Amino acid sequence: MIRVLIADDSGFMRLALRRMIEAESDLRVVGEAADGLAAVEQAAALRPDVVAMDLEMPGLDGVEATRRIMAMPDPPAVVMVSHHTRDGSAAALAALAAGAADTIWKGSALSGLGALDLGELDAALRVRLRHWAAVRAATRGMERVARSRRPAMAEAGPPPVPPVCGPPPLVQQRLQMVVIGASTGGPDAITAVLKAAGPLPVPVLVAQHMPADLGAHFASHLAERTGVPAVLGSHGMALPVGCSLLLPGGADGHVTRGADGGFILRLAPGHGAVHPSVDVLFRSVAVAADRALGVVLTGMGRDGTAGAEAMARRGMAVVAQSPESCVVAGMPGSLIAAGLAAEVAAPEDLGRHLARWTRPR
């Protein structure tokens, strides 16, 4: 049984969401909150698997409530359900940066109460709640495993994770590209990495789990906050140098070789609830490139570990964000637990290392 907490200041929407969620027997609403502070208190008391969170509420808004919930031990997944997540994509990015796992647009259901709008919301809501409940279940304990491994490895002698003073041992030749994957809390971590790295002399591809309509705004957000150009990827484009290439939400990105030997981005519809897939991107790079570096940042779940294994088999290094610096350490924690992290550091340190590792020696 998946336990859901609803947080919304509209009594109509709380009732509508409850009826949608409980229409099938595997989902149960365990509580309702009419404001952000009540949502935080009920999340602590009820320990739900998922929170369906509104963005604008009196007092504490959904972004700050999400931030406080994600600071709890073993937090639930938070899915932002709001009409502002499309009308104001900056709000959706703020929610993702605060730790929301996903955003769903209400349409005009609040104002018009139209059956079509509620039907569209109903079609997405249960799928996303189930997905993030499953991801959260897979993530539970992963952060503790990752954090506990590092002191044990240090006591055991020379650790598999190299010290931060030098590059991973597999980064010995000039890289052809850097690929970055992130999910929950990713926008801030990606920004910190790219700002510390500065313009790099190789293509940089970013796979951040997000809805399809946020890509262009996220590109503008990154360019403004890092001082480095960022563009939204399109099918068939050559990988640019000197800027970040963002994979659009709602699709998966593959890197292939062009006829001239250069690298090209291919986009394809993805299967499942969340895209772009980090595993798909990393696996394609393992086939197309000879010298690439992967970076796995904060996120719920295990996306990136299978792709990192494919890169490692080709002699390519993958580095991970330190669990203590993550909003949710599931993705980098999975990488560390699998013994695939060639380096573990905070985002700013990873960015500075990237600047060194991508320069000719």
Rounded CA-CA distance 13/7 in Å is 9
Say which DSSP state 163 is in.
Answer: P
Return the beta strands (E) in the chain as ranges. 2-7, 27-33, 50-53, 77-82, 102-105, 177-182, 204-208, 230-232, 244-246, 251-257, 263-269, 292-296, 318-321, 341-345
SS3 content of the chain, % helix, strand, coil (to 5): 45, 20, 35
Set 89, 183, 284, 325: catalytic member: 183
**Tokens read off for 262:** 């250069």
Phi then psi for 311, rounded to 5 degrees? -65, -40
**DSSP-derived 3-state class of residue 309:** helix
Closest CA to 237 of 225, 229, 228, 245: 245
CB-count exposure of residue 352 (10 Å: 0-12, 13-18, 19+): middle
Nearest CA-CA partner of 35 in 53, 9, 55, 15: 9
In the set 303, 322, 334, 349, the catalytic residue is 303
Q: Is 209 among the catalytic positions?
A: yes
Catalytic residue of the set 83, 84, 131, 209: 209
- CB 70, CB 82: distance < 8 Å: no
Respond yes or no: is residue 221 known to be catalytic: no
Q: Which of 229, 236, 233 is nearest to 194 (CA)?
A: 229
Active site residue 111: no
Residues with catalytic function: 183, 209, 303
